[in-house]
Amino acid sequence: MRAAVWHARHDIRVEEFPDPGAPAADEVRLRVSWCGICGTDLEEYLQGPLFIPPADKPNPITGRHAPMVIGHEFVGEVVGLGSRVSDLALGDRVAVDTLIHCGECYFCRRHQVHLCERLAIMGLMTDGGLAEYINAPRYMCFKYAPGLANAHAALAEPTSVAVRAARRGRLVAGETVAIIGAGAIGLLTVEVARALGAEKIVVLEPAENRRKTALALGANAAIDPFNSDPVEAVKRLTGGYGADVVFECAGTVGTMSLAPELGRRAGRIVLVGLHDAPVPIRLASVVIGEQELIGSFSHVYDEDFSSAVDLLSTGQIVAEPLITAQIGLKDLVRCGLDELASSKARHLKILVSPEG
């Protein structure tokens, strides 16, 4: 079968790769319909190996190492069933969570499987969805509504990140929200907040096209933080108090430092973006204001991912405005990875079809 295989930094090849064959007893075999390109895929292409195990350090759960098929935002049609799978049928269309956990460690025993001490992710620590076929564990696979387009269902994985962030932030109807960054995750957080009944959603984003998209998806205001004081703007729009919940979705030193300043006293600050460098934060304001700084990572398959599929299936999350390109597998490097590397601000989500 054809697949996109990571060999080394700047070396991802669309080539023939061994077919996964018949599924194991608790697996399903899928014909992949669409797979999104994640920022992590781009980072592995430009800077890897970061999460992909090198040949001398295979992943402890999967035993796999590079070269490896990438892609972890995919949907597909069920074309084979393991002997112990009885609640799916051939022809069902499913979105796939992709997180593999050991089931035995401290965190798995508490159903915090995304924090598993030996966590593996399909497309990073074992073969993923940028291929014609893949076998996936049954527990990862969630059917979506017949009326939901396959391409739109492919946004289930990033949507589940936004769902997780909202759950971590304990967002409830009637609260005010500030969201920093209107990339794919930030915009999906707008949609999740709207679906949960947020009273007011304020987005901070320098790119005009993304601000317009945020407004179209349900934000009440979209502010260019470089053209006005973002703290004053958010306070003005929230009765002078600041937001009940702030979601930091940009992942830069400046935006992570800014996030607590946008929240009210006793507000919740949810950090979704990833950044490794030390970040200066005015902790005195956090302490005096009794704010909560909350990390949010990835998703849990039967909590966040299942909810994301439901939100997409019921039309509460609209995926179409976030899909900025759809390409075939043969064009992955030139029109996908290289395009994102050179023109990232122009795109939100590029989807890849193994058939093209």
Q: What one-character-per-residue DSSP string does 22-53 give?
A: S--TTEEEEEEEEEEPPHHHHHHHHH--SSSP
What's residue 344's pLDDT?
83
What's residue 277's pLDDT?
86
Domain definitions of the chain by residue range: 2-155+319-353, 159-295
- Nearest CA among 28, 36, 2 for reference residue 91: 28
What's residue 275's pLDDT?
84
Q: Quick one: fold of 2-155+319-353?
A: Quinone Oxidoreductase; Chain A, domain 1 (3.90.180)
Give φ, ψ of 108 to 5 degrees.
-60, -40
Neighbours of 128 (CB within 10 A): 27
CA 283 – CA 268 distance, rounded (Å): 14
CA 197 – CA 75 distance, rounded (Å): 28
Contact 216, 348 (CB under 8 A): no
- Nearest CA among 189, 48, 184 for reference residue 123: 48
Strand partners, 352: 35, 327
What's residue 91's pLDDT?
98
CA 174 – CA 194 distance, rounded (Å): 10
The CATH classification number of 159-295 equals 3.40.50.720
Strand partners, 325: 350
Strand partners, 136: 28
Instruction: Name the 3-class secondary structure at 72.
Output: coil
Contact 246, 259 (CB under 8 A): yes
pLDDT tens track, the chain, 356 positions = 999 999 999 999 999 999 999 999 999 999 999 999 999 999 999 999 999 999 999 999 999 999 999 999 999 999 999 999 999 999 999 999 999 999 999 999 999 999 999 999 999 999 999 999 999 999 999 999 999 999 999 999 999 999 999 999 999 999 999 999 999 999 999 999 999 999 999 999 999 999 999 999 999 999 999 999 999 999 999 999 999 999 999 999 999 999 999 999 999 999 999 888 899 999 998 999 999 999 999 999 999 999 999 999 999 999 999 999 999 999 999 999 999 999 888 999 999 999 87
**CB burial string 201-222: b at 16+ within 10 A, e below:** bbbbbeeeebbebbbebbbbbb
Tokens coding 166 = 């909202």
Tokens coding 235 = 């306070």
What's residue 345's pLDDT?
85
Strand partners, 184: none
Direct distance between the N- and C-terminal alpha carbons of the chain, in angstroms, rounded to an integer: 13
Helices (H), the chain: 39-47, 150-153, 156-168, 184-195, 208-216, 230-237, 253-262, 283-288, 306-313, 338-343
Q: How far is CA 325 from CA 104, 197, 322, 336, in A?
A: 40, 30, 9, 9
Instruction: Classify burial at 276, counting beta carbons within 10 Å of its beta carbon; exposed 0-12, middle 13-18, buried 19 or more.
Output: exposed
Contact 35, 354 (CB under 8 A): yes
